[in-house]
Structure formats: C-alpha cells, structure tokens
Amino acid sequence: MLRLNSRDPGFAEAFARLVADRRESDPAVAQDVTAILAQVRSQGDDALAELTQRFDGHTLTSEADWRISAEACAAAFAALDPALRGALELAADRIRDYHAAQKPESRDYTDAAGVRLGAHWRAVDAAGLYIPGGRAAYPSSLLMNAIPAKVAGVERLVVVTPTPRGEVNPLVLAAAHLAGVDEVWRVGGAQAVAALAYGTQRIQPVDVITGPGNAWVAEAKRQLFGVVGIDMVAGPSEILVIADGANDPSWIAADLLSQAEHDPVAQSILITDDAAFADRVAQAVTVELATLQTQPVAEESWDTYGVIIEVAHLDEAPALANALAAEHVEIAVADPEPLFARIRHAGSIFLGRHTPEAVGDYVAGPNHVLPTGRRARFASGLSVLDFMKRTSFIQLDDAALHAIGPAAVALAHAEGLPAHARSIEVRLAR
C-alpha cells in the first residue's frame, strides 16, 4: 500500500505517477483479441464452439448447450428464496424508475424563419449485454444493463454469459427473467463479443454491446467499436474515499475493500486530513481482510494498488479527485456539499457518512456501469441514451428557403462546392 503526503517535497511527482498508472491490458491482449475476432468472423459457430471448449471447458453441442431457455430463467426466478427475490425486485424497480426519467423527448417546432426543425429519438433494434461468469457472475450487472435498454424501447435484448464447465448462476438467470431478456447464450470472452457484433449462424448481430468483462472483453469492445456501438471500454474497478477523522475507521476500511475484492488490479484510495485516522484505517483494513472470503483478491489489490493520501486540509481533496477522475468517489464528511460542488470528474459520487458505494451497486437506482481508468474526465455512466439514437429532420417551404437559402449559397461557394450551391440556387431562381 502506497502512503503519500501532500506536504512532502516529492508529492507532486509521486501523485502524477499515480494518475498516469492505468492498470490496463498489455499489447499481448490486443493481439490475442484480434485473432479471436477474425476467427469468429470467418468461422462463426464453429469458432465459438472451439473457443468455448478451450477457455470455459463447456461443450456446445445441443441447443441446451448453446442457449438457456426462457423457461429455465423463469424457473430460476421462481425458485429464489422469497427474501432474495424481494431484494432483486426492489433493485429492479428502483433502477427502472431512475432510468425512466432519462428517456429524452422528441422535438418538432417551426422557427422564426418558417423552418420546421426537430429530432426523433428511437431505440436501437437490438442490444447485446455481456454478463461475466466465473468470479464476477453478478445479477446486479444484468439488471443495470438490461433495464435501461428495456426503458429505451429495445425490441431484442441478447445476453451472452460464460458458463465455466457448464455451471450456470441461477441468480443471473432470475435477473434475466425479471428484466425481460429475450435470448441468453452460453458463450463468453472476446468470442462472445465478436458473435454479437458480426453475427453467426445461430446468433443474430446486434447494434449496441454493453456490459463489464475482463481485459479481453474490454479489448474486443474497443476493437469492434464502429461495427457496433459500445457503452465504454472499462478497466479495473476503483474507489476514492475522501474522509475526515470523525469517521469510524472500520466503515472506511470496508468501503475501500468493497472495490478491492473485485479484482487484484482494482484500486482503492483514501484522502484524509488526519494522520492518526489514516493509521487506524490501515489497521482496520488488515482486520477486515481477515474476515473476507475474497481475502486473496482484496489483499493483493490493496497491497499492490491501495493508496492513502494525507493532506493538510480536505480543501485540497477536490483538485486531487479531479485529477484521478475515479469511477466511484465517496465524500464521508458531515457536510459534503462544499467538496461535492468542486468535483467535476467522477463516475458517481456518494455523499455523507451513511452512503457507502456498495448501495449504489445494487439498489440506489443510478447505473453502476461507470467509466474507469480516469475516463470520467470525458465519459458518463451507462444510461438509457446508450440504447437510443437521435435523428434530426428539417422541412422548408418556398418562403423559408428564400429566407435562409442565400446564406447557404454564399457559404457553399466560399468552400469551393458549387454543386452544393447549385442545388439551392435552382430552387431560389424558380
């Protein structure tokens, strides 16, 4: 775990190195993914079968090997413990309500020149959702991806998810039923992303691909952007906690580890103005780690990438937070508003001592698919808009064309495009 102090002479240089460290994939991953995409594009289902057997130990032979039926998803939902089913339904309801307010309205109006203008918002025809398997088999991720797509009005919703050695996570299936997913395919990795983008004999292509995954999945999405739309290229999870000494150190330690347990290369950072409190948090992390089933992953993350930054005053924290542009930012102080007002770059912000980031992962409502790797400087979390596109429209009558057409003719000639000018001039001359 790295310990920094803003009053030390070498702080600026050490902090700059921290900001520059993206913890993302190496060139070998990109080369592997390029080969996988080419194989799936040329061989289709045969490539999926070969790669799924190689990476997941799952044989794709019968229809049941390839695809999980709607009946199986419904049965998984019905078999849930009532309390867990209620929790899943609460999460779905809150996610749906929050995202419903994001749906944009189309516009249609006539301006002062008599020109009819506007834009129609429409959902994409089909969306593909990547839902991780193995260590990261999360029903919450399925809800966070599927529900905004449904709110947008996507007609065909396709899930791809790896089933290592044929094992299926029933909670993921239950979430698929609750969210109204249309297809669930038992394939994962970069090959699944390729299948969604290019289509195969069994899997029809989609227009947008969203959802978290490992470095190979993220790289596949990056390489396929343009063939399909994507939500973002996601890297390892990260959390920044800004906390004063009045907090319970065990609470803050738990918050830091809530992201560390995701991945050995996840990053947890604490900024505090209290050196003694920083010490107590570091000690509490050690205590908390001993109780976690995910200790090996969380401990490696904290030991390798964890950071505690001591500042003279918490007024320094917003500038550091803006440079870090973290996926999650907690402001654990009595009055978070002054600091909140100064933070421009963050995926999602959690205000006050009683708002742990983990509540946002499940039941708060806003999406937990958020930009990582300092991308919150220019990117936003997943929303309904990721599953929609806007088409503008224009209508002029003769009077409107005479009102604004001459200016367009002048600009077209100035740009050396006489055919552009001519298409307007012939109408003005009539």
- Helix or strand run (H / E) with residue 318: helix 317-324
* CA separation for the pair 386, 119 (Å, rounded): 17
* CA separation for the pair 252, 381 (Å, rounded): 24
Written as six digits, the tokens of 233 are 């290229």
What local confidence, expressed as pLDDT, does residue 25 receive? 65
* CA separation for the pair 158, 151 (Å, rounded): 15
In this structure, what are the phi and psi dihedrals at residue 323, rounded to the nearest 5 degrees? -70, -40
Q: Does 327 qualify as catalytic in the annotation? A: yes
From the candidates 262, 328, 345, 368, give the one annotated as an active-site residue: 328
Q: Does 328 qualify as catalytic in the annotation? A: yes
Question: Inter-axis angle of helices 139-152 and 82-100, to 10 degrees?
Answer: 40
* CA separation for the pair 260, 292 (Å, rounded): 11
**Where do the domains of the chain lie, and which CATH numbers do they carry?**
2-22+235-364 (3.40.50.1980), 27-230 (3.40.50.1980), 396-429 (no CATH)
For 157-174, the pLDDT digits (tens) are 999 999 999 888 899 999
What local confidence, expressed as pLDDT, does residue 135 receive? 52
Closest among 211, 165, 204 to 182, alpha carbons compared:
204
For 393-423, the pLDDT digits (tens) are 999 999 999 999 999 999 999 999 999 999 9
Within the chain, which residues score under 70 in pLDDT? 25, 134-136
* Residue with token string 């064309």: 401
In this structure, what are the phi and psi dihedrals at residue 185, rounded to the nearest 5 degrees? -110, 140
From the candidates 327, 330, 357, 368, give the one annotated as an active-site residue: 327
Amino acid of residue 137: A
